[in-house]
Structure 1
């Protein structure tokens, strides 16, 4: 059976076509390795003030977190920094729990700040209290807000190993306190 379209010479690949293609790809790759974008410079201040470029988020080292651990020590499970109140200085948010040798110890989520005159960072807010028996996952600080997924229990009869309630949460500073909400499009299980 014969094709309705005539044979076109330029539609057949030949070795020279592959060599030309390989040369072009190698040239693009070489050029892209020479041209790199500059470092990103993000600003979170929303009121027109520029963040202080020298400001760093407070360290969690040596902070006395308000968690009762008995004979074991408190450990920082996760931490993230960001300007939560729009003042140009970053705060640190830390997820902390007791260093229990067994089981799933509950988490606490704390906001740390360090003023220009403060010698050491200090806890200024508790977003999740360990007494609530919550485990924190998917923790992040973005765009002036703290987000996390909270794993908890529907009743006190549910074993600590197996949380049965999953709730997304978001905290944002309103000028006087951190307000908790559920992110748009999120559902509890």
Structure 2
């Protein structure tokens, strides 16, 4: 699966022209990954143990706990060995396979400043008792974005993605805003951007 911070952390500032192309970039990244749905959940195969249809006699199985975001490892390069912070999280059956996923907004911990965020979808561990695995990266930290209003509506992830029109805009105060939705279609997440370049 594809895996891909704050004061004192290196940032790659994106210029206004790059912000306009964010929709295409995010869409390409997400569409290039084939993804959360596990092999044993393909059409025509029996439901996996623990899924709602797997219980004897068709009775509902016990609820499956969503992946714990605090137990996952994230591919952020934080300065001075700083840990990562889970800023927002939502859980639900995002891909319709009967098992919950957890979507998270994560950034490097800092006492001052506003590090860029990454957005990840976590799925169940490969082995019982193991850590959740990152199924897909929806927003890469190196793109220097901040995420607000992160939420789940039905099975659709939604957020406000904040960015910068130039290198001169302070890291604390992004001046561009764009709404995004991520929806599972077939075998992948599709990024659905709102209007480009709204000023904060």
The answer, yes or no, to whether TM exceeds 0.5 is yes
CA distance in 1 between partners of 2:107 and 2:98 (Å): 29
> Displacement, 1:85?
0.5
> Displacement, 1:56?
1.8
Answering whether residue 88 of structure 2 is matched by residue 78 of structure 1, we say yes
Match of 1:133 among 136, 144, 157: 144
4+ runs deviating over 2 angstroms: 49-53, 115-120
* Structure 1: runs of 5+ lacking an equivalent: 1-46
CA distance in 1 between partners of 2:197 and 2:166 (Å): 16
Match of 1:67 among 76, 89, 102: 76
SS of 2:75's equivalent in the other structure is coil
The answer for the alignment partner of 2:163 in structure 1 is 152
CA distance in 2 between partners of 1:124 and 1:94 (Å): 12
The answer for the alignment partner of 1:33 in structure 2 is none
| 8 A Cα contact 2:155 2:183, kept in partner | yes
| 8 A Cα contact 1:167 1:188, kept in partner | yes
Q: Which stretch of structure 1 is more off in the superposition, 89-98 or 68-77?
A: 68-77
* Structure 2: runs of 5+ lacking an equivalent: 1-42, 53-60
- Using CA pairs under 8 Å that are at least 6 residues apart, name the structure with larger relative contact order, 1 or 2: 2
| 8 A Cα contact 2:125 2:133, kept in partner | no
| 8 A Cα contact 2:126 2:133, kept in partner | no
TM-score, with structure 2 as normaliser: 0.64
> Displacement, 1:182?
2.6
| 8 A Cα contact 2:161 2:179, kept in partner | yes
TM-score, with structure 1 as normaliser: 0.67
The root-mean-square deviation of aligned C-alpha atoms, in Å, is 2.2
> Displacement, 1:141?
1.5
Aligned CA distance change for structure 1 residues 116 and 104 (closer, same or farther; 3 Å): closer
Match of 2:64 among 46, 55, 60: 55
Larger radius of gyration: 1
| 8 A Cα contact 1:168 1:188, kept in partner | no
Aligned CA distance change for structure 1 residues 187 and 157 (closer, same or farther; 3 Å): closer
Aligned length: 140
The superposition leaves residues 34-85 of structure 1 with CA deviations (integer Å, 9 ceiling, x where unpaired) of: xxxxxxxxxxxxx9x9845511211012211111112211110111101110
Match of 2:101 among 91, 97, 102: 91
> Displacement, 1:115?
5.4
Aligned CA distance change for structure 1 residues 87 and 116 (closer, same or farther; 3 Å): farther
